[in-house]
Amino acid sequence: MRKGFINNIIVIICILAMGFQYTAYSQRINTGYIYFGNKYKYQDAVSNTNNSLDTVYPSYFDIDQNGNLKITQTLDEDLIEDMHDKGVKVVPFISNHWDRELGRKALSNRYNLANQIAEAIEKYDLDGVNVDIENVTDADKDDYTDFVKILNEILDNDKEISVAVAANPNGWNYGWHGSYDYEKLAIYSDYIFLMAYDESYIGGPEGPVASIQFVENSITELLKHVDKDKVILGIPFYGRYWKEGESYGGHGASLKRIEETVSKYPSDVVFDESSKSVKATVSKEDGTYVYWYENEESIIEKLKLVEKYDLKGSGSWSLGQEDKSIWNYYSRWLDGEYLVDIYDHWASDSIYSMIDNEIMNGISNMYFAPNDNLTRAQAAVILTRLLEIDDVYITSDSFDDVSKDYWAYNEIELAKKYGLINGKEDNKFYPNDPITRAEISAMLSRLIEDDYSDDNIKFNDVNDNIWSYEYINKMSSMNILKGYEGDMFYPNRNLTRAEMSTIVDRMLKHNIEYKK
């Protein structure tokens, strides 16, 4: 039993006995393997991550032909010290690099190997070990589990033990997948690193490395055996490619190299909506190649699963293969903030309020477009969501320029039915036109029950001769729409999506009553 376990139990019992409520708090973590290159490449790999990592798994531990520990030439005490100064754990991974016989040598020598690992952790001031023995079989399951158990017994409890396991969406219990006793491994380790990739593989048919279905099914299968607080979702920083006309393909390539190739040669790049992966068809001098790989959008889709299933965090194979620009945003993605254009925006709080209340959405998975003009169609959609009348379907064709296949047809018809909007000349609505501050004042005035107005509110550019005077007066009196410096309202100025977010957010905070 690892040192400190009994003490932890005693502390919890004392807390409960004193009448305090014990609440567990789980914060997501971000981890990454480092494998390719020399120790200087390792330094570059971690320095590019913009302080986004909690733990690194460098390739410091190998296995020799007798199953003993072999320290690799990449071990770098300066890097270890630097990571510790930044609060990052250094947990080397030990691997047989897919060599089955070498893996079995290690497991048969597990008592000696575990003690050698413990000595190396102490000697080099490391923070634990990540076990990554792959391609052994169900015949080795008990030895594999016992190896992790031995590590659990001899390492101090402040040292991390994590185990990398194969994605197993089908629940296979034979072959390589059968080598993992997930439930017991979870007992003896701190984290289970789910290698949710290699759906396609070298020598196999063309397809994504990690389709969203493959990843999600792998998660749900693992969660049958392992608590969510112990699961780290592995994300591939590589892709695979096939040359048309050749029977053998699926060669691996880093995301960085693939992006360079796609930029260099004529390429047809599409985001496959079914798999939530990227496919590129690239024309080179010697033929046509098909690449399947990850980009920011596909990585976000995978990180959404971390949030959906409330997993412990994410990890990557492997650092240095990615486009380093993703580290500008990765920590926010892991925290469930996916829209990259609102992080430092002046209206970010109101925009998040709109998203949380399902009143406004982004224009894509990655962008909200806060500074874009709000269109008249988007305004109609927002009004119907505020009234919660989106479940009614209308087919009255109120406007000649809004056809049944228009994306906001139903909401525009509903807004018209409830008297919230009017068209313009010639029975047209002009759905794609930007909406002005005067127009939104009119729409919101029709929506809001209160008829309060204050004749003392004056704007230099608003008087009772303009069509929207009463509407602007009402919205300003209720402090929903505000003016600018110099007592100006700018009624004909276009309204941005960010400004609409702040307006609706004020309405939500003031518990505005709507007409029914």
Q: Which residues are catalytic?
A: 134
324, β-bridge pairs: none
Distance of CA 356 to the CA centre of its chain: 16
8 Å CB contact between 470 and 445: yes
Cα 221 to Cα 212: distance, rounded to the nearest angstrom: 14
* Cis peptide preceding 398, ω within 30 of 0: no
Cα 376 to Cα 437: distance, rounded to the nearest angstrom: 11
8 Å CB contact between 117 and 158: no
Q: Which of 436, 321, 326 is nearest to 373 (CA)?
A: 436
Radius of gyration of the chain (CA): 29
Buried b (16+ CB within 10 A) or exposed e, 203-239: eeeebbbbbbebbbbbbebbbebbeeebbbbbbbbbb
216, β-bridge pairs: none
8 Å CB contact between 412 and 380: yes
Instruction: Give, as one character, the DSSP assignment of residue 435.
Output: P
H-helix or E-strand containing 472? helix 469-477
8 Å CB contact between 353 and 361: no
SS3 461: coil
Q: Which residues, 6 or more positions from 432, have their beta carbon under 8 angstroms from its beta carbon?
A: 375, 376, 377
8 Å CB contact between 488 and 459: yes
SS3 210: coil
514, β-bridge pairs: 448
Buried b (16+ CB within 10 A) or exposed e, 269-284: eeeeeebbbbbbebee
Buried b (16+ CB within 10 A) or exposed e, 481-498: bebeeeeebebebbbbbb
Q: Which residue in this structure is represented by tokens 């003009």?
A: 373
Distances (CA, A) of 391 to 249, 354, 381: 49, 19, 12
Q: Which residue in this structure is represented by tokens 């990592």?
A: 53
